[in-house]
């Protein structure tokens, strides 16, 4: 998958997570039962955390991947 398409998917995912967090926040505010409201708030926190993590991944440039072995031959070490 190319970088542009991957970034677009990550942006969509981040937006979706923020929308879910907003939805659960509205439910938590309107909930009459404090215990239920607290459970909903935990979901809000979780979705906001995931959305922030997804947004951070979008903003950070991709780090170059180093191969597990440099010369094409895996190193074997005997102890």
| Residue-level pLDDT at 78 | 54
Helices of type H across 1-79 = 3-30, 34-59
| Residue-level pLDDT at 65 | 57
| Residue-level pLDDT at 8 | 86
Helix (H, G, I), strand (E, B) or coil at 74: coil
Question: Would you write out the chain's pLDDT as a tens digit for each of its 79 residues?
Answer: 566 788 888 889 999 999 999 999 999 999 999 999 999 999 999 999 999 998 888 888 665 555 555 555 555 555 5
Q: CA 24, CA 78: separation in Å to the nearest integer?
A: 55
CB 16 within 8 A of CB 49: no
């Amino acid at each position: 998958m190319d970088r542009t398409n991957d970034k677009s998917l990550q942006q969509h995912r981040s937006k979706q997570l923020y929308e879910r967090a907003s939805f659960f926040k509205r439910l938590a505010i309107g909930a009459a039962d404090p215990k239920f409201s607290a459970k909903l708030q935990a979901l809000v926190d979780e979705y906001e955390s995931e959305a922030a993590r997804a947004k951070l991944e979008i903003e950070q440039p991709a780090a170059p991947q180093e191969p597990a072995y440099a010369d094409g031959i895996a190193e074997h070490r005997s102890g």
